[in-house]
């Protein structure tokens, strides 16, 4: 899989950009503030419908514009597909496949698969559980795009149920009588049904990712303690949390029954606190180095190694399905020591397409052959006038 062409309009700093890309390696070279990361951020957005830098879409629209457009031509096993996204201020985003509108933007998921490694990935090890849940869910959706609908449905149910818990809790404390408790039973069923599907795919993913993660970390840091991952959930019994356990066909049914039971048991506390205390939104991906959790115990170098191993493990997992995802490396080589740079370069050199951003050519390992693409901007601070020009040298 590779991106053959990329076009932007009013995306981040780019008023307009058009460029052709090829299989193999491409390095976007330019000093900070010239829009290199914005280019690969746009490609990553088409893959996940999200940015690796910000949680909302509003910062992606160029200052003063009402909408941004991203378009790409994606080649997979000889077949070309054009995918376009329109990000709108205040209204719903819109998407097209081969210039034809689709009902929901998430219908484009699966056309382009990417694995993106960036300095922000250190938060996978040191950050909050939400960062690791996002990693799991985006990777699971890359494997099975229809899971995006399940995630959207779960988030909708979670919001509705949380609002109902707040109302029911207030009424109970004031002595008022309402119909909220009966309605909660309905929302419990919805939450358990969607949550069970999401949990089943997360557990399957942890099981499948485990050996790729362990091997990648061993390659990067052979002198370190072994790296392992597991799924942490206060809602599930221990037998479901063993990463060595093979997923079963009836897991979703069993998980739904468990969630319903846990929701019933937790309802008094939920009404008291006004929050939903049961479900996959409370879970975490456990990262271990030897017998110690990586968060809080790993050194800076070990944390970088773990973050890198998670991304390389994800790349190998997606590749094992038969198609190479596009590997995107956003200004990471300058952050890594020689061994980690070499390990990353080895994997990158084997990818069908790898896109790299770097401030200077020296940041890119010499063993990684990549065509340079000079990224420059002209104009005032608002970067209205922008251009991309190919360069025949890396100087």
Alpha helices per DSSP H over the chain: 36-48, 123-126, 129-143, 147-174, 180-220, 251-273, 294-297, 300-319, 338-350
The two three-digit tokens of residue 298, written as one number: 């790993």
Q: Crossing angle for the helix pair 251-273 and 147-174, nearest 10 degrees?
A: 30
Residue 37 in marked binding region = yes
Residue 34 in marked binding region = yes
Q: What is the DSSP letter of 333?
A: G
Q: What residues contact 316, with CB distance under 8 A and at least 6 apart? A: 212, 215, 216, 347
Residue 32 in marked binding region = yes
Alpha helices per DSSP H over 274-337: 294-297, 300-319
Residue 36 in marked binding region = yes
Measured in degrees and rounded to the nearest 5, phi and psi for residue 351 equal -75, 150
Give the residue from 205, 196, 208, 201 showing the smallest Cα distance to 254: 196
The two three-digit tokens of residue 101, written as one number: 């509108």
Looking only at the bridges linking them, the beta strands covering 371-377 and 24-29 are parallel
Q: What is the DSSP letter of 42?
A: H
Q: b vs e for 159-178, b when ≥16 Cβ sit within 10 Å of the residue's Cβ?
A: eebeebbbebbebbeeeeee
Q: Do residues 67 and 56 make contact, with C-beta atoms less than 8 angstroms apart? A: no
Instruction: Mark the binding-site residues, compressed into ranges.
Output: 30-37
Instruction: Mark the binding-site residues for ATP, compressed into ranges.
Output: 30-37
């Amino acid at each position: 899989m590779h991106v053959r062409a990329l076009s932007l309009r009013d995306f981040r700093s780019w008023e307009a950009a058009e460029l052709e890309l090829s299989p193999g390696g491409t390095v976007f070279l330019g000093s900070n503030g010239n829009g290199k990361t914005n280019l690969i951020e746009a490609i990553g957005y088409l893959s996940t419908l999200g940015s690796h830098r910000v949680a909302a879409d509003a910062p992606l629209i160029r200052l003063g514009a009402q909408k941004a457009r991203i378009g790409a031509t994606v080649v997979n096993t000889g077949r070309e597909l054009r995918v376009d996204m329109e990000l709108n201020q205040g209204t719903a985003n819109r998407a097209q496949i081969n210039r034809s509108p689709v009902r929901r933007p998430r219908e484009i998921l699966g056309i382009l698969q990417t694995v993106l490694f960036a300095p922000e990935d250190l938060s996978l090890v040191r950050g909050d559980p939400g960062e690791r849940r996002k990693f799991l869910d985006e990777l699971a959706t890359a494997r099975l795009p229809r899971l995006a609908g399940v995630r959207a449905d779960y988030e909708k149910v979670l919001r509705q149920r949380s609002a109902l818990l707040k109302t029911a809790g207030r009424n109970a404390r004031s002595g008022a009588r309402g119909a909220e408790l009966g309605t909660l039973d309905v929302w419990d069923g919805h939450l358990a049904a969607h949550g069970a599907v999401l949990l089943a795919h997360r557990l399957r993913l942890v099981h499948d990712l485990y050996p790729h993660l362990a091997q990648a970390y061993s390659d990067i840091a052979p002198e370190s303690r072994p790296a392992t991952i597991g799924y942490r959930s206060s809602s599930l019994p221990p037998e479901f949390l063993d990463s060595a356990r093979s997923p079963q066909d009836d897991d979703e049914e069993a998980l739904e029954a468990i969630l319903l039971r846990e929701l019933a048991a937790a309802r008094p506390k939920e009404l008291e606190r006004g929050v939903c205390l049961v479900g996959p939104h409370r879970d975490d991906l456990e990262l271990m180095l030897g017998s110690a959790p990586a968060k809080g115990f790993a050194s800076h170098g070990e944390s970088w190694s773990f973050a890198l191993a998670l991304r390389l493990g994800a790349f190998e997992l997606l590749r094992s399905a038969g198609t190479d995802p596009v590997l995107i490396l956003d200004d990471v080589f300058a952050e890594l020591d020689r061994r980690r740079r070499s390990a990353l370069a080895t994997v990158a050199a084997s990818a069908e397409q790898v896109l790299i951003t770097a401030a200077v050519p020296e940041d890119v390992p010499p063993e990684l052959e990549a065509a340079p693409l000079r990224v420059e901007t002209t104009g005032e601070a608002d970067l209205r006038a922008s251009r991309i020009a190919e360069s025949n040298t890396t100087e």
